[in-house]
Structure 1
Amino acid sequence: MLNALASADAVTWLSIVVKALVYATAFLAMGSVLSIWALRRLPPSEVQALRRLSVLCAIGAALLSLARLPLRASFLMGGTWQGATDPMMLTMVSESPLGSSIALRLVGLALICAVMLPARLGRPLAAFGVITVAASFVFRGHTLEEPRLLLAALITLHILGLAFWIGAFAPLYRLSGANTARVAGQVSHDFGRIAVWVVGALTLAGGTTLWLLTGNVLTALFTAYGQFFAIKLGVFLAIIAFAAWNKLRLTPALLRQEQGAGARLRGSIRMETALVALILLTTAILTTVSAPEAVNQTARAAAEGQITKMNKGGFL
């Protein structure tokens, strides 16, 4: 894995960055909708801000997702930019699992934008959009292996849990200002109550997925997937530590309106945001370098004489 990254070319690194940004924007779009639905004591101004954020992130995620198509085509042409405009390569990519994944994601992102409609109509449509976007990520990568349905369900659950966690950052950060610290405490209390179940779901989904893909957790540590999973697990445990501190110390302090509690919560959220960004980047690297369907696509492109030189940087 490290050898593949060390020899990665510009197309591979650009693909990793774009994929990480797709994760970030899509998860923010989903998480904003989930926060509106789950955090019932959010002030109306915060609900409106989350609506705007979800739409902006949905648009960004759609554009970034579409950008992945020419990047994949470029990789299949040996990392040359000519592939980004080659009709045959673009057709191959659009008909691949990546193309199906992006098509479904675009539908889900469009539905998320319905959150701007009146709540009675907009929220159900946006909620369905959230599920659709989450499901779009299971059309490729390791979910192409067996048991596909179980892996798809586990990864969808994992995505929804992480999206909710990410979506709560913005309103909690804004509310932790001096004038709304008590409201922040109330919302943080609601978030902490739900987060306990989210942590359990993330742990169950992640652990079961690793076991299904490797068969032996200890043996998995000697594989690229297991090593990157170990990195993600370590970062996740750090996030849990911050979350526990928020729930047990900062939330009660906010409710008591203690001096400096809001500033400490903001600092904790900044650290959690950085750690989540590291998780998303690690996931982007892992799925870029070891996506199973990329092997099949590369073989198909080679058979059709489309690859001019093998890219040593890994798969998109």
Structure 2
Amino acid sequence: MAALASADAVTWLSICIKAMVYATTLLAAGLVLILLSVRTLPEDEDRRLRRIAVLMAIASAVFSVLRLPIRASFLMGGTWAGALDPMIFGIVLESPLGTAVALRLVGLGLILGIVSRNRFGRNSAALGTIFVAASFAMRGHALEDPRFLLGVLVTVHMLGLAFWLGAVLALLRLSWYSSPQATGAFAAEFGRKALLVVPVLVLAGVVTLLVLTGWGVALLSSAYSQFFAFKLALVAGILGFAAWNKLRLTPALHSGAPAAAAQMRVSLQIEAGLIAAVLMVTAALSTVSAP
């Protein structure tokens, strides 16, 4: 908390922009994964989610590019003049951040193929999600040794998180605009796939933490580890609501319980709020502390 309390305006702006990059990028990639893998989406909602995926990809591109001048400003001691300095901006473009943004922009461009339902569009969007996830492994902690292992772990972790965010958004929309039966069918299919995705997502995150912190040495003694512990507490809350949705609310939707749709909607809204908090904590974690 001391690190955040002493942060200047540029640092806070960097944290907020980074959180928006996470949210929009993961939603764009996650919606693609949902659209390509879940078969119980109603036709009208399928069309809307394709449009939302495109909008999220465009927003992600804008926020990702904005990170470059903010980083240049940071390198000049937090002065806004640094954001306009051609030499400093060139250094940022050649840095790992510049590489990550370039790869992400390529991936986001490929994701736009989701507007088409033909094989080329689907393959383009699928490849784009991999590029987008891999872009997060192009800088930061993933550049530590062992670099290849950390790069794979970060990419897999981001793909799993993207799938989760895409499903939450789709479920939330279905709970508002579709029948309880359609919502229940989607929730049931997502729940079955989540049984495979969640363990991989959690395992990748835990192994990454252990590698970065020396396999648990002084796990809570640093600001980084304390941030990470708070993040894990939020994730535990998300998994708790997800379990409630799967074990109680999804069967209730199938049985036509009158209050099930409203209860699912409230649960998903809380889950979405916790996910937003996780993204914000992650943005702060990677900005003001290090393993």
- TM-score, with structure 2 as normaliser: 0.97
> Which amino acid in the other structure matches residue 15 of structure 2?
I
* CA displacement, residues 25-68 of structure 1 (integer Å, 9 cap, x when unaligned): 00110011011012111111111111101100000000110001
Identity between Structure 1 and Structure 2 (%): 55
State the match for 1:147 in structure 2: 146
State the match for 1:17 in structure 2: 16
- State the 1:216 CA deviation: 3.4
State the match for 2:200 in structure 1: 201
State the match for 1:174 in structure 2: 173
Measure the CA separation in 2 of the matches of 1:168 and 1:225.
29
Return closer, same or farther for 1:177/1:95 CA change in 2, 3 Å cut-off.
Answer: closer
Q: Would the aligned equivalents of 2:224 and 2:290 in 1 still touch at CA under 8 Å?
A: no
Return closer, same or farther for 1:179/1:150 CA change in 2, 3 Å cut-off.
Answer: closer
- State the 1:119 CA deviation: 2.9
- State the 1:290 CA deviation: 3.1
Secondary structure class of the residue paired with 2:179: helix
* Structure possessing the higher radius of gyration over alpha carbons: 1
Trace 1:117-132 onto structure 2 (pairs within 5 A): 117-132=116-131
Q: Would the aligned equivalents of 1:182 and 1:257 in 2 still touch at CA under 8 Å?
A: yes
Measure the CA separation in 1 of the matches of 2:32 and 2:260.
27
Measure the CA separation in 1 of the matches of 2:104 and 2:26.
12
State the match for 2:264 in structure 1: 265
Q: Would the aligned equivalents of 1:111 and 1:126 in 2 still touch at CA under 8 Å?
A: yes
State the match for 1:227 in structure 2: 226
Measure the CA separation in 2 of the matches of 1:5 and 1:260.
42
Measure the CA separation in 1 of the matches of 2:65 and 2:177.
41
> Which amino acid in the other structure matches residue 212 of structure 2?
L
- State the 1:174 CA deviation: 2.2
State the match for 1:210 in structure 2: 209
Measure the CA separation in 1 of the matches of 2:290 and 2:92.
14
> Which amino acid in the other structure matches residue 200 of structure 1?
P
State the match for 1:290 in structure 2: 289
State the match for 1:69 in structure 2: 68
* CA displacement, residues 279-309 of structure 1 (integer Å, 9 cap, x when unaligned): 00011001111369xxxxxxxxxxxxxxxxx
Unpaired segments ≥5 residues, structure 1: 293-316
Measure the CA separation in 1 of the matches of 2:37 and 2:73.
42
State the match for 2:248 in structure 1: 249
Paired residues, number: 291
> Which amino acid in the other structure matches residue 265 of structure 1?
M
Q: Would the aligned equivalents of 1:178 and 1:262 in 2 still touch at CA under 8 Å?
A: no
272-281 vs 196-205, greater mean Cα deviation: 196-205
Secondary structure class of the residue paired with 1:196: helix
Unpaired segments ≥5 residues, structure 2: none
Trace 1:297-312 onto structure 2 (pairs within 5 A): none
- Is residue 92 of structure 2 the alignment partner of residue 93 of structure 1? yes
Secondary structure class of the residue paired with 1:220: coil
**Aligned residues: CA RMSD:** 1.3
Q: Would the aligned equivalents of 1:30 and 1:164 in 2 still touch at CA under 8 Å?
A: yes
Measure the CA separation in 2 of the matches of 1:173 and 1:220.
36
> Which amino acid in the other structure matches residue 121 of structure 2?
G
* CA displacement, residues 106-126 of structure 1 (integer Å, 9 cap, x when unaligned): 000000001112332211100
Measure the CA separation in 2 of the matches of 1:198 and 1:133.
18
Instruction: Provide runs of 4+ in structure 1 moved above 4 Å.
Output: none
> Which amino acid in the other structure matches residue 127 of structure 1?
A
- State the 1:4 CA deviation: 2.4
- State the 1:262 CA deviation: 0.3
- State the 1:179 CA deviation: 5.3
State the match for 2:158 in structure 1: 159
Measure the CA separation in 2 of the matches of 1:105 and 1:72.
17
Measure the CA separation in 2 of the matches of 1:108 and 1:176.
30
> Which amino acid in the other structure matches residue 248 of structure 2?
R
- TM-score, with structure 1 as normaliser: 0.90
State the match for 2:81 in structure 1: 82
